Chain A
Amino acid sequence: MNNRCFWLFMFAFLFGILLPVSAEEKILKIGTLFPLTGSCALAGQRCKAAVETAVEIINNKHPEINVPLAAGEGVLGYKIQLVHADSQGKPDVGKSEAERLFDQENVYAIIGCYNSAVTKPASFVAERKKKIFVAGCSSSAALTERKMHYFFRLAPNDRIESKEFCDFVQWLNKNNSSNLKTLGLIYENTEFGKHAADEAKQIASKYEMEVVVDVPFNPGATNLNSEVTTLKDKNPDVIFGACLGGDYTLFIGTVNQQNWLPKVALNYCSGFQDPQISKQLGEKGYYFAGASGYSPDFVKIMPVAEAIEKLYKEKTGVPFDTDSILETVGMLVLGQAIEKAGTIDSEKVAETLHKEEFVSPLSFGGKVTFDEQGQNNKAMSVVVQLQNGEYRRVYPPEYSTASVTFPIPSWDKRK
């Protein structure tokens, strides 16, 4: 009998879970869709906090912060309420969560999704429903080649970064009368890595650089010996890498073990730019470089970032990184567009986003504009190099805080 009570209780409990809840207020709901659980959970949680930071700025009076919408409360009289959803980093979950956010939660727009592979199907849902989708840091160039009208992306895509890397190499050649010509690619075998590598190949040919070796690896690998041996064999002058987090650490460690070095090593996205990584690698990681959209020392060229970062730090305990700051920018730009359009009509707001220029003190150059495919025209990142434990900006010259160490000093000369 007791047993039966137990199961009845279990059923009642489950039934309780299934009962729908709803609460409706006169506010503007915006959905966030990030990988809050799963392997990218940490990054996803930070992105979520970044959007929350932006909403806090918009909804409350923050006269001390000099960004649009900070001084007043809300936008057009609406208070923004966020509805968070979890994509788990899976495209199928992301798609169905996007549908749920629009159909069930009646959100006005979605910000997301970190993983490019999730952003693709999720933004497709938004496009079909004629709703705005803002992607902060998803970097696959393919996202803005789909002729979508309601899709906007803030991050520099991997094409822009590839071009920047090649410009950097050319600049080095000019200034140091060096002759960097051969290029090696090492990338994680995912949508992100493969796409970055494809872009690099295309752009390199325009810059008369020759891709001599092309090495994909599986993310989360435990051993990169054969990959590095292949690179060492062809000995390219320059390496473009698309390695994130732990893979990057392993890659540098292996390069060190095999006692080999390229003259220049650049890494896509900000995969290499995690304080954790510089700690783990110590001196081994010095003089490697990569693209970056933000690091704490940027505060000098973005004075307003400090106050905003304080809000963000309260939530996360860490400063902004390249990815999360873009999500904040995304929310702020969307808010501005609504205000400029003077209505929350999605069609008009989308048009405003396409046409107008937005003030964005958290971006380089301080401006954001979108092309007809939704790519942020003004998106750019800088090349930073890890020098003596700190990430220093080395290119472009107008933003640099240190001169570049070139070529990378060989291992035996370091000690």
Chain B
Amino acid sequence: MSDQSGASGNLDPSPVSSSSYTKSVSDFIGIGLLLFLLVLPKLSVLFGAIENYIFPAPYGRFQNLLSSNFLHVLILIFLYSAMSQAWNIIGGYCGQISFGHSVFFGIGAYGAGMSVVKYGMVPWPGVVAGAFAASLIALMISYPCFKLRGHYFAIATFAVVEIFNRMFMVWDWINGALGLDYPIIEEGWKQFIWYDSKVEYYYGALALMTLIFFIVRFLETHRFGYYLRAVREGAEIAESLGVDSTRVKLSAMALSAGITALCGSFFVQYNLRVDPPMVMSLDMSLNFVLITVLGGIGTLWGPFLGALVLIPLQEYTRAWWSGDGLDLIIFGFMIVIVVLKQPQGIQGIVSNMFKTKKRE
């Protein structure tokens, strides 16, 4: 898939997506969206109050719209777009398709989990330790793997997931297959745990996503980002221009892994449980890749658009046609259509629409 998108899209960056005009439009939309998302929970309370005042009813439409399930879907969208964006750094911008990101995700999750469950502390030391551990392990795994190219690199990362999954299954210190279950503890930002409310998780996930999108937005226009793309387009050419491709790839991997671990920590704090199949599975690894591919690999908005389509699809189809696997069927179709019709993903579709409009 990467090759296709590389061939038709990335090798020949469309003038629209790289012009500074589009960049500022994109920034404008991004900041606008962020502001909207920031006030969304408050807004609905306000609207709900007004609505209840006019039509007194037990459940106002707006309040219902912002029910805990709706927030849950938003939280997942933020989390998965953050994860996919982290993957996008190495997979999209640097062109190294990794199926091993669930390992880093899992390490982050276990970092926070161990901190709370085994040591009875707040999760934060574990979050930091997990991020560093993930970066370190990413470096150790990637160094030999980067000797491989293209598909061979991707296959090697597949194996890494299996190795870590099995290892964590039998590792008694982290409770092995039993997993870590959170005890009932005090709620609050210090513990980053809330049992009934989801609004705080919403802001937590929004902050996480914003942080990662800012990092990638920063990379896009700075030297390191250009190095990444140079390495993607051709390691030899990049090296001939004085870019140390191995170093660039390793730094990108470490950065990506560290950020992915942060997402893992959020995941465990949100679910209050972690066991190896929950986090270190090929399923989870595929999420990183598929969301980005669907949304638009190697683009800033791709991961968000991918998650925006996939997560509601997944959550709502499961709710309404439970157990038919319908979401997977629709999702499969979408991937096929996207790959055939628009290898740049939803991002490509959106920018094409704007392009057509402008010509008219």
Contacts and interface: CB of A to CB of B under 8 A. Distances in A.
Contacts of B312: 17-18
A20 B61 CA distance: 11
Contacts of A4: 353, 356
B271 A121 contact: yes
Interface string B167-197: 0011000001111010000000000000110
Nearest to B318: A86
B177 A104 contact: no
B175 to A, nearest CB: 9
Nearest to A18: B312
- Those 5 A-B pairs whose CB atoms lie nearest each other, nearest first: A36-B323, A86-B323, A104-B69, A86-B322, A103-B68
Interface string B291-334: 00000000000000000010011011111101111001000000
B217 interface: no
22 contacts: A14-B309, A17-B317, A18-B312, A18-B316, A36-B322, A37-B324, A37-B325, A84-B322, A86-B318, A90-B277, A90-B278, A91-B179, A92-B278, A99-B68, A100-B319, A117-B179, A117-B273, A121-B273, A189-B177, A191-B275, A193-B177, A218-B166
A100 B271 contact: no
A392 interface: no
A189 B69 contact: no
Contacts of B337: 10
B99 interface: no
Contact of A95 (B68, B178, B271, B316): B271
Contact of B72 (A14, A100, A121, A191): A100
A17 B69 contact: no
B17 interface: no
Interface in A189-221: 189-191, 193-195, 216, 218
Contacts of A96: 72, 76, 315
Q: How large is the interface on B (under 10, 10 to 19, 20 to 34, 35 or more residues)?
A: 35 or more
Contacts of B356: 4
A44 B176 CA distance: 25
B169 A218 contact: yes
Nearest to A190: B177
Interface string B330-343: 00000001000100
Contact of B278 (A36, A91, A190, A216): A91
A415 interface: no
B178 A191 contact: yes
A124 B319 CA distance: 20
Interface residues of A, number: 44
A99 to B, nearest CB: 6
A99 B273 contact: no
Interface string A2-33: 01100100100010011011000000000000
A189 B181 CA distance: 17
B235 interface: no
Interface on chain A toward B: helix, strand, loop, or mixed SS?
Answer: helix
Interface of B: 64-65, 67-69, 72, 76, 166, 169-170, 176-179, 181, 195-196, 267, 271-273, 275, 277-278, 309, 312-313, 315-320, 322-325, 328, 337, 341, 349, 353, 356
A191 B177 contact: yes
Interface of A: 3-4, 7, 10, 14, 17-18, 20-21, 36-37, 41, 44-45, 48, 84-86, 88, 90-93, 95-97, 99-100, 103-104, 117, 120-121, 124, 128-129, 189-191, 193-195, 216, 218
A20 B62 CA distance: 12
A117 B178 CA distance: 8
A185 B313 CA distance: 44
Nearest to A102: B68
A141 to B, nearest CB: 12
B176 A103 contact: no
Nearest to A195: B178
Contact of A21 (B176, B309, B320, B341): B320
Contacts of A104: 67-69, 319
Contacts of B177: 189-191, 193-194, 216
B273 A17 contact: no
A88 B317 CA distance: 13
Given A90-B278, A124-B272, A7 B349 contact: yes
A115 to B, nearest CB: 10
A14 B313 contact: yes
Interface centre among A4, A7, A193 (most CB of B within 10 A): A7
Given A18-B312, A191-B275, A85 B322 contact: yes
A100 B273 CA distance: 18
Contacts of B325: 37
Given A96-B72, A189-B176, A195-B178, A85 B353 contact: no
Nearest to A187: B177
A142 to B, nearest CB: 8
Contacts of A191: 177-179, 275
Contacts of A14: 309, 313
A128 B196 contact: yes
A191 to B, nearest CB: 5
Contacts of A85: 318-319, 322
